[in-house]
Structure 1
Amino acid sequence: MRSGGHLIRSSAVTSSITDVLTHAVVVFSKNYLPIARVNVKRAIVLLIAGKAEPLDLTGGMAAATTGMPLSKIYEVRSPSTILQVPEHIRLTVSGTERMWKVPPVNRREVLRRDRHSCQYCGSTKHLTLDHVIPKSKGGAHSWDNVVAACSACNGRKGDRTPQQAGMPLTSKPKAPMHPAIAFAEEFWNDFQV
């Protein structure tokens, strides 16, 4: 595959096709926002159809100094062709993005946000919902006031605030982010490490 007129050399060649197909490729939007991970098979379809192009996040710097790019290239071989699939690709088409809105505050969505664990003790058993500021004290049924709590912690906290009960939250509750924004944040945090 060519990127910006330069042939990208393979830096990661895997022996088995099944090994290669298990790898993930990060897909960037046309505006360079990381939006998802796809498998190598899907990346091949996007590249061959002309809907995506290779993306080199090193800017050629690694290739200029060491002769090898930092981004991995996965080779997929057929009897007549060798395809090189980069670790990062960028969409060349801008599709109509689906509208996304913040989901309603309900048990399923709160448990998903809180990773199915009690926000007071970390337990994953007998989970209920708890209003951080109790409704009797004016607390709303909103994303920043509802958390997952095990039944033991919920009973122990009772009709008090976490400060009154001496039970600090492990994380501050907030509304879920747009999936693409959450993925982008996670990607850039991992990329910088």
Structure 2
Amino acid sequence: MTGVLVLNAGYEPLQRVSLAHAFRMLHRQVAVVEEAVDGRTFGPYPLPRVLRLVRYVQMRCRNRRGIPTWSRSGMLERDAHLCAYCGTVGASTVDHVLPRSRGGASSWLNTVAACLDCNHRKRDRTPQEAGMRLRYEPHVPTHLDLLAR
């Protein structure tokens, strides 16, 4: 994932922000650079990889079990944009292992990243019916897994 990782004042990861947002945070002096790209600057600031907030902010309660809410972008990040069927880099579509037409849900355990060709080839069939093998099993990531990329 591109962007700058933002840490709370207590060094807990909060979110990723765009480079433009990171510079606005530095300019407003609400954050300091914890880790920078060696030798690169942007105006008076070093090019940041990681920012730390100056003041502690209370994190919103995500949910009781700490499971991130499913999203298309989160699922693609979880799978590192690798096609679950052929392994090519740059997978940009979501494939439902149990197709939605058969009652499959958009959930962490029923979706994988797929390249356009494999997604079209599988259509509304299960991987077994399509003669395709999953290279990895879908899993539920943690919030930290999604921020770490």
TM-score by length of 2: 0.52
User: Which one has the bigger helix percentage?
Assistant: 1
Bigger CA drift: 98-107 or 157-166?
A: 98-107
Aligned-partner residue type, residue 138 of structure 1: G
2:68 aligns to what?
Answer: 103
Q: Give the Å deviation of 1:177.
A: 2.2
Structure 1's unaligned 5+ residue stretches are 1-34, 37-41, 43-94, 184-193
DSSP 3-state at the match of 1:136: helix
CA distance 1:103–1:125, change in 2 (3 Å):
same
1:115 equivalenced with 2:115 (yes/no): no
Deviating 4+ runs (over 3 angstroms): 95-101
CA distance in 1, matches of 2:77, 2:136: 14
CA distance 1:148–1:126, change in 2 (3 Å):
closer
CA distance in 1, matches of 2:87, 2:130: 17
Q: Give the Å deviation of 1:124.
A: 1.7
Contact 2:97 2:127 in 1 (8 A): yes
Identity of aligned residues (%): 47
1:157 equivalenced with 2:119 (yes/no): no
Contact 2:91 2:113 in 1 (8 A): no
DSSP 3-state at the match of 1:119: coil
CA distance in 1, matches of 2:117, 2:128: 17
Structure 2's unaligned 5+ residue stretches are 1-11, 14-33, 35-55
Query: Size of the alignment, in residue pairs?
Result: 93
CA distance 1:179–1:97, change in 2 (3 Å):
farther
1:179 aligns to what?
Answer: 144
Deviation per CA, 1:26-59: give whole Å up to 9, x if none: xxxxxxxxx99xxxxx7xxxxxxxxxxxxxxxxx
Pick the structure with greater CA Rg: 1
Deviation per CA, 1:156-191: give whole Å up to 9, x if none: 0011000111111111111112428xx9xxxxxxxx
1:169 equivalenced with 2:129 (yes/no): no
CA distance 1:176–1:151, change in 2 (3 Å):
same
CA distance in 2, matches of 1:97, 1:123: 40
DSSP 3-state at the match of 2:95: strand
Q: Give the Å deviation of 1:97.
A: 8.8
DSSP 3-state at the match of 2:113: strand
1:131 aligns to what?
Answer: 96
| Two-structure CA RMSD over aligned residues (Å) | 2.8
